[in-house]
Amino acid sequence: MSAAAAAAESESESRAQSLDAADPGHRELFDIPPVDGGPYPDVAYFAGNSLGLRPKATRTELLEDLDSWAALGVEGHLDAARPWLPYHELLTGPASRLVGALPSETVVMNSLTVNLHLLMVSFYRPTPERFRIVIEDSAFPSDSYAVRSQARFHGFDPDDAVVRLRPREGEDCLRTADVVERLGSDVALVLLGGVNYLTGELMDIPAITVAGHAAGAVVGWDLAHAAGNVPLALHDWDVDFAAWCSYKYLNSGPGALAGAFVHERHLGDPSLQRFEGWWSTDAASRFEMAAVSRPPASVDAWQVSNPPIFSMSPVRTSLELFDKVGIGTLRERSIRLTAYLERLLAGVTPGRPLQVITPADPARRGAQLSLRIGGARTAGELAKVLRFEFGVIADAREPDVLRLAPVPLYSTYHDCWRAAQALAETVPENA
Ligand SMILES: Cc1ncc(COP(=O)(O)O)c(C=O)c1O
């Protein structure tokens, strides 16, 4: 076989199918959206970094929880098959294992940006000399708005207080050394995305955390694109606080409840400010209806309201699945799958206005490859063609970034082949 024929064979559809047979993942546990028409029954889904797919068990288990309500009314607090009063505790163990934390450091509550605000109440305590917040220039807008509003709340000009880190000229991703260099005595808080939503860059969380602490700053992480995507060791890395959502890699449904982490070092510290409600008090005293709270020495003290059980149910189902499969095993398949997609794209991008901007080093990325696209179509227009003509669901960030996330739980090598094939067919080669 000639080298060209061997290369073509290695990129053939049958090769993708045999890789799936050898390295199958857990697709059978998920509902994969069907596609109308065309040769394949299901979509090739690459938007799990935006909204993960539904585990089949989610529907069954959510219905069980709903039926407890129908059968028991208020008595479900104690008598439901999964009693509502301690329901949130069912999520603590698997959530803490997923992010490398102690159970006392981990809680599932609220939404991501709400958690960032509650945590900043405690951990952004600016002074006239040390008041700056360091974020990425390409931070997700919610983070940018959140930190700007926090600076304003404390009486600072957000344009002055918020430092936006930009990649070097001609580069798409941040270099760790450049981040570290900016962490000076004016920085009160470093709040970066563990995996950048746009480029898919996995930051060096331990190194930046160490550097932030050496500079005298508090270091928090937005793990929206990291939780369920890459292994984390928040406790060992000495991260001060973190928050993440559960609707992306954690497959818990649109707007699903978020997670929060506070390092053990800070738990029970009476000097920390917190906003409180009746769920901030220790569980044993909650129904004493006392006027003054008795917060526990755990991150549960950051809870405010009683948890929404039917929103917790899908998060519990999903976390139990992660617990069973193991993030380490998933990461191994993720590295193989993403490398395969990368190899296929390398056969398509030369000569076309397509450029992968995610780091090539597997240690600096998770399950996402972002493509900068040129040519006449915007990313949104290209995503529409991929969806309606090829059944490939990608995520567009206008004007020019297309994000493809092969998710190790349910994506296939054949999905990757379909995506590369669709791009080759629809993006014209440069004249
Ligand atoms: C990195 C990041 N931060 C924050 C958010 C906003 O999260 P929420 O609307 O759940 O607060 C998102 C949403 O996609 C995100 O990707």
Distance CA 76, CA 72 (A): 5
The C-alpha R_g of the chain, in whole angstroms, comes to 23
Q: Angle at the Cα of 106 (from 285 to 304), degrees rounded to 5?
A: 45
Distance CA 351, CA 230 (A): 32
143 annotated among ligand-binding-site residues: yes
- Pairing label, strands 392-393, 395-397: unpaired
Residue 4 is predicted with a pLDDT of 56
Residue 250 is predicted with a pLDDT of 98
Q: For residue 251, give both structure tokens.
A: 């497959």
Q: Whose CA is nearest to atom 5 of ligand 1?
A: 142
Phi, psi values for residue 5, rounded to 5°: -65, -40
222 annotated among ligand-binding-site residues: yes
- Pairing label, strands 106-109, 258-262: antiparallel
- Report the nearest atom of ligand 1 relative to the CA of 114: 11
- Residues paired with residue 201 on neighbouring β-strands, in sequence order: 365
Q: For residue 349, give both structure tokens.
A: 């991008």
- Report the nearest atom of ligand 1 relative to the CA of 115: 11
Residue 301 is predicted with a pLDDT of 97
Q: Whose CA is nearest to atom 7 of ligand 1?
A: 112
Ligand 1 pocket test, pick from 51, 113, 137, 191 with the greatest ligand atom count within 8 Å of Cβ, gives: 113
141 annotated among ligand-binding-site residues: yes
CA-closest candidate to residue 308, choices 257, 252, 260, 253: 257
- Report the nearest atom of ligand 1 relative to the CA of 116: 11
CA of 111 to the centre of ligand 1 (A): 8
Residue 431 is predicted with a pLDDT of 47
Residue 2 is predicted with a pLDDT of 58
Distance CA 294, CA 291 (A): 10
- Say what the pTM is: 0.96
Query: Hey, CA dihedral for 280, 283, 287, 289, is it positive or negative?
Result: negative
Q: Whose CA is nearest to atom 14 of ligand 1?
A: 50
**Other CB atoms within 10 A of residue 273 CB:** 10
Ligand 1 pocket test, pick from 142, 246, 248, 252 with the greatest ligand atom count within 8 Å of Cβ, gives: 142
154 annotated among ligand-binding-site residues: no
Q: For residue 386, give both structure tokens.
A: 């991929």
Which residues are CB-neighbours of 361 under 8 A, at least 6 positions away? none
Residue 391 is predicted with a pLDDT of 96
The answer to whether residues 114 and 150 touch, using CB atoms and an 8 Å cutoff, is no
The answer to whether residues 25 and 55 touch, using CB atoms and an 8 Å cutoff, is no
Q: Is the CB of 142 under 6 A from ligand 1?
A: yes
Q: Is the CB of 143 under 6 A from ligand 1?
A: yes
Q: Is the CB of 111 under 6 A from ligand 1?
A: yes
The answer to whether residues 211 and 179 touch, using CB atoms and an 8 Å cutoff, is yes
Residue 17 is predicted with a pLDDT of 97
Q: For residue 244, give both structure tokens.
A: 């993440």
Q: Whose CA is nearest to atom 4 of ligand 1?
A: 142
What parts of the chain have a pLDDT lower than 50?
Answer: 431
From residue 285, alpha-carbon distances to 90, 130, 175 in Å are: 20, 38, 48
Q: What is the pLDDT of residues 384-420, one digit of tens each?
A: 999 999 999 999 999 999 999 999 999 999 999 999 9
**Domains of the chain (ranges, CATH numbers):** 3-56+326-426 (3.90.1150.10), 86-325 (3.40.640.10)
